[in-house]
Structure 1
Amino acid sequence: MSLKPSSRDWQRAIADARQGLSAWHVWNLLAMTDIRQRYKRSRVGPFWITLSMAAFVGGIGLVYSTLFKQDIRTYLPYLAVNYVVWTLIQGIIMDATGVFSSSGVYLRQEAMPKTLFAMRLIMRNLIMFAHNIIIIPLVFLLFGVWPDWEMLLAIPGMIMLLVAAYPVVMLIGMISTRFRDTPVIIQNVLQIAFFLTPIMWKVDQLGAAAPFVVGLNPFAIFLRIVAEPMNGRAPSLWTWGVAILVIVLLYAITGPLFARLRARIVYWL
């Protein structure tokens, strides 16, 4: 089977993307429903994740600040920011493995835009991120960290992260729907990426190896364009440039595949 999409494939894929993106009220409602169902009959609701994350950051912060010989007053805010942003990235990627299979009840009954479910997933993780981000100002207040103008750069960084998340969800979703071993592979990749990404350690601790481990690590790139401004540092032009390059490559790969395979997703469920 040729993977080169025809002009008709492109027209249908573009129409799918347009309809899915414009149906914001639908994917927003589905995302809110997912959150309510996940924490049904829970008094604290999604804040359980926030509380567990706060406990994790506090415990790991105390231990690793000692191991790395870091001042806890600067290390704990650094860890809180990085881990909250990493949780968003990790959540989007892991949920992408089931973006279509978990929506089979809708896709089998009606010809709905496939991109709608990608937006549903991204919105659901954004809602969780909104709960978790509460930790950051509390930690900053506790350790006397005050906002600086660099924090404003987190806004374009977050926009770029979400722009990159869209093709990632579509690509991983299609592959995972066709090949059911993919979620296990993705989980293992994320476990490795967690240790190769500056979440619990700082870039300057790597010395000469930093450009190779961090500069060419796409997980680190998108973590840094959001987290570094919150930590009071402006990301380098290299970081912004690589992020833009990765986004272009993601759309260049996902676009043709989605155009060619979009109609087969339902049959793979």
Structure 2
Amino acid sequence: MDTIENAMSVPIDMQPTLSSGGPARRAWLDLLQGIRSWRVWWLLGIGDIRQRYRRSRIGQFWITLSIAIFVVAIGVVYSTLFKQPIKDYLPYLATTYVVWVLIAGIVNDSTSAFTQAEGFLRQQALPKTTFILRVLVRNGVSFAHNLVVLPFIFLVFGVAPSWTWFAALFGLVLIAVAGFLGGLVCAILSTRFRDLPQIIQNFTQVAFFVSPVTWQVELLDEPMRYWVNLNPFAAFLRVVSEPLLGRLPDFTTYASAILTIIILCAVALPLFVRFRQRIVYWL
């Protein structure tokens, strides 16, 4: 706890810096200060995980275990329903589901990013973006734990290592950028409208079924595959899962992901500039 408090101590010149200039300049400085305060959001994110699984013998790996059970159980059933060989379907399901847990976790946790940090925001002049980065750290570490499932699945079903795994790192960068921008939008709006988190959680559940998590795009007819490309969740899912399975996503998938980031940037930045100072009053 002392380490977190020391990391969260605000430099003497930060308060006048964050409160000087126009709204756009203050928002930009908030972003820069938030990135520079990496010790704060790193320790907060790690602290959230430790607190959530306090006094648990295997901690975060409870989620890893539950993911493994889900993948095996659903994989056996759905491979029969879809008439897919289990040696092909189970690695696909394991990969897509692990990536989906990361995406859905960022979206859902972002809705409480500022309300969860009410005590900090009311007492210290911390950058607001710190708490969005906190969400990314928390879910990124959980994703790293959940990746433990994949080597076992790949080994059992003969999925060989591939150079395309490096492309998955680029996909994770795209998810992180989109997660930050989308998380900023969700956090601001959810702080102002307290019914919105439930709506977003329900929307995420619907997105799970219309995204290629438990089903493969190749099973769809050609006209329907076009509509999958319009689903931003599907694009971010595929830019990580497909390289892990040894194949590169097509140009349309990357274009959809990058276009989504541009749209999120066009929404998130003006929203943050206008309402950044009101966040504390909404808590």
- In 2: Cα distance, 1:28 partner to 1:82 partner: 26
How much has 1:137 moved relative to structure 2?
0.9
Which residue number in structure 1 is paired with residue 42 of structure 2? 28
Per-residue Cα deviation, 1:12-57 (whole angstroms, up to 9, x for no partner): 0000000001111111011111111100110010000000110000
- What secondary structure, in the 3-state scheme, does the structure 2 residue paired with 1:69 have? coil
Task: Measure how far apart 1:111 and its partner are.
Answer: 1.3
Task: Tell whether 2:64 aligns with 1:63.
Answer: no
Partner of 1:211: 225
Mean CA deviation greater in 248-257 or 202-211? 202-211
Quote the offset at 1:188 in angstroms: 1.3
Q: Which residue, out of 158, 169, 173, partners 2:187?
A: 173
Report 1:240-251 matches (<5 A).
240-251=254-265
Q: CA deviation at 1:173?
A: 0.2
Is 1:153 aligned with 2:170? no
Within-5 A mapping of 1:124-163:
124-163=138-177
**Partner amino acid, structure 2, of 1:164:** A
Determine the C-alpha separation between the residues in 2 that align with 1:119 and 1:242: 24
Moved more, 172-181 or 230-239: 230-239
2:185 maps to amino acid: L
Distance 2:110 2:227 in 1: 25
The CA distance in 2 between the partners of 1:213 and 1:64, in whole Å, is 23
The whole-number CA distance in structure 2 between the counterparts of 1:213 and 1:193 is 13
CA deviations over 1:200-255 (Å, ceiling 9, x no partner)? 10001111243343110000010011111111111111111111111111111110
Alignment counterpart, residue 102 of structure 1, candidates 104, 116, 119 = 116
- Is 2:116 the partner of 1:78? no
1:93 to 107, 112, 120: 107
What's the TM-score, normalizing by structure 2?
0.91
Summarize deviations over 1:96-136 as a string: whole Å, max 9, x none.
Answer: 11000010010011111000000011000001001001101
Aligned to 1:253: 267
TM superposition shift of 1:144: 1.3
The one of 184, 197, 202 aligned to 2:216: 202
- Structure 2 unmatched runs, 5+: 1-20
1:235 maps to: 249
2:67 is matched with which residue?
A: 53
- CA-based RMSD: 0.9
In the alignment, the residues of structure 2 paired with residue 51 and residue 67 of structure 1 have an alpha-carbon distance, to the nearest angstrom, of: 24
Q: Unmatched 5+ residue regions in structure 1? A: 1-6
- Inter-partner Cα distance in structure 2 for 1:91 and 1:212: 27
Aligned-partner Cα distance in 2 for 1:194–1:209: 21
- Quote the offset at 1:146 in angstroms: 0.5
In 2, are the aligned partners of 1:204 and 1:210 still within 8 Å (CA)?
Answer: no
**How far has the Cα of 1:76 moved from its partner?**
0.3
Tell me how far apart the structure 2 counterparts of residues 237 and 213 of structure 1 sit (CA, whole Å).
15
- Does the CA contact (< 8 Å) of 1:85 and 1:226 recur in 2? yes
Residue 87 of structure 1 aligns to a residue whose secondary structure is helix
- What is the letter of the counterpart of residue 38 of structure 1? R
Secondary structure, aligned partner of 2:255: helix
1:224 aligns with 2:238: yes
Match of 2:204 among 190, 215, 220: 190
Asked if 2 retains the 8 angstrom alpha-carbon contact of 1:196 and 1:213, the reply is no
Match of residue 41 from structure 1? 55
C-alpha distance in structure 2 between counterparts of 1:140 and 1:70, whole Å:
17
Deviates more, 1:141-150 or 1:259-268: 141-150
Task: Provide TM-score, normalisation by structure 1.
Answer: 0.96
Q: Supply the AA of the counterpart residue of 2:176.
A: L
SS in 1 for 2:117: helix
Higher relative contact order (CA 8 A, sep 6+): 1
